[in-house]
């Protein structure tokens, strides 16, 4: 993971935070940086994030195996977390089931998130920073915005009267009306009665008004950000959501929103096209 991150970051620096190198045949590699505020063991800092890409298996040699998708936090986050014991190390926690992964100083990974291979798309996560300093988490993987058999997107139950954590596996800044939420069962109405999409990092809210149009302060969902879908108590009860928008290609550059009030954020996303067989682009 360190090698793949290094190459992508070099490309980013070389092309002012957005790299797009044309080659053929090519694969599209994306990266997003999540900035995490300082926290300690006594007062950890929780930064919310999601997974906008596919991620590859990274064998012991450190060279990602392109085309072999991984849901291990050891492959997705690599050695970027501050290591330690179960109580002292930084953690990645999946919000919907509280599975935890952390890096020991061997180095290796432990915890239920690692053993269950539980770090997949369509979910939201916390990075729990206990290290005492601000940190960055760079997520780098394959840009693939379509539903596919290799890594099927999960169908997520939106339970009546609850906030369901969610993120979109998508490298683009998507408008609300392309997400397929209304088709799945999202109901509108008044400001106080409509279902909602809420950014976990900014608290911006999107809802559907009485005219059937999206409204509110949240206008886009962003790659790498985390959200709640608030399914209010309605006659239709619970409903299931499967994100399957493919749409247009990734945009040239996206400024992602600031994080929570204590300093976390997600920063620009970059996309690079690299040859599938080019070793230097995968190490």
> Where exactly are the structural domains of the chain?
2-72+121-145+248-281, 156-241
Distances (CA, A) of 51 to 148, 241, 257, 275: 16, 17, 15, 23
Find out whether 136 and 36 touch, Cβ atoms under 8 Å.
yes
Looking at residue 64, its pLDDT comes to 81
Its pTM stands at: 0.83
Confidence of residue 242 (pLDDT cuts 50, 70, 90): very high
Task: For residue 162, give both structure tokens.
Answer: 């609850």
In the predicted model, what is the mean pLDDT of residues 114-137? 97
Q: Is the pLDDT of residue 20 over 80?
A: no
Please write the tens of the pLDDT for every residue from 169-222: 999 999 999 999 999 999 999 999 999 999 999 999 999 999 999 999 999 999
Of 17-26, 88-97, 98-107, 195-204, the least confident: 17-26
Nearest Cα to Cα of residue 123 among 151, 148, 103: 151
In the predicted model, what is the mean pLDDT of residues 44-52? 98
- Given 3-state DSSP classes, what are the helix, strand and coil percentages for the chain, each rounded to the nearest 5? 10, 35, 55
Task: For residue 73, give both structure tokens.
Answer: 């936090």
Peptide bond into 200 cis (omega under 30): no
Looking at residue 262, its pLDDT comes to 39
In the predicted model, what is the mean pLDDT of residues 89-104? 98
Confidence of residue 263 (pLDDT cuts 50, 70, 90): very low
Q: Is the pLDDT of residue 61 over 90?
A: no
Looking at residue 66, its pLDDT comes to 81
Looking at residue 249, its pLDDT comes to 53
Q: Where are the alpha helices (DSSP H) in the chain?
A: 2-14, 73-76, 112-115, 181-184
In the predicted model, what is the mean pLDDT of residues 257-273? 43
Q: Is the pLDDT of residue 275 over 60?
A: no
Q: Is the pLDDT of residue 274 over 50?
A: no
Q: Is the pLDDT of residue 1 over 70?
A: no
Find out whether 56 and 141 touch, Cβ atoms under 8 Å.
yes
């Amino acid at each position: 993971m360190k090698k793949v991150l290094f190459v992508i970051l070099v490309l980013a620096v070389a092309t002012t935070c957005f790299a797009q190198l044309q080659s053929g045949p090519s694969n599209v590699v994306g990266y997003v940086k999540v900035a995490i505020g300082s926290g300690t063991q006594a007062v950890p800092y929780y930064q919310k994030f999601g997974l906008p890409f596919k991620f590859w298996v990274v064998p012991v040699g450190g060279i990602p195996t392109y085309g072999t998708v991984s849901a291990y936090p050891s492959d997705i986050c690599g050695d970027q977390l501050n290591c330690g014991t179960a109580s002292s190390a930084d953690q990645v926690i999946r919000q919907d089931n509280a599975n935890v992964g952390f890096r020991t100083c061997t180095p290796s990974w432990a915890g239920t998130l690692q053993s269950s291979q539980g770090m997949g798309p369509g979910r939201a996560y916390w990075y729990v920073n206990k290290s005492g300093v601000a940190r960055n988490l760079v997520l780098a993987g394959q840009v693939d915005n379509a539903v596919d058999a290799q890594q099927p997107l999960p169908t997520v139950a939106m339970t009546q009267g609850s906030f369901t954590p969610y993120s979109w596996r998508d490298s683009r800044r998507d408008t609300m009306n392309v997400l397929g939420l209304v088709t799945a069962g999202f109901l509108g109405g008044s400001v106080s009665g409509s279902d909602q999409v809420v950014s976990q990092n900014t608290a911006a809210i999107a809802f559907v008004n009485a005219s059937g149009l999206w409204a509110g302060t949240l206008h886009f969902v962003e790659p790498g950000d985390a959200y709640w879908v608030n399914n209010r108590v309605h006659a239709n009860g619970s409903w299931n959501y499967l994100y399957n928008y493919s749409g247009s290609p990734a945009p040239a550059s996206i400024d992602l929103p600031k994080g929570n009030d204590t300093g976390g954020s997600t920063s620009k996303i970059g996309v690079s096209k690299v040859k599938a067989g080019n070793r230097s682009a995968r190490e």
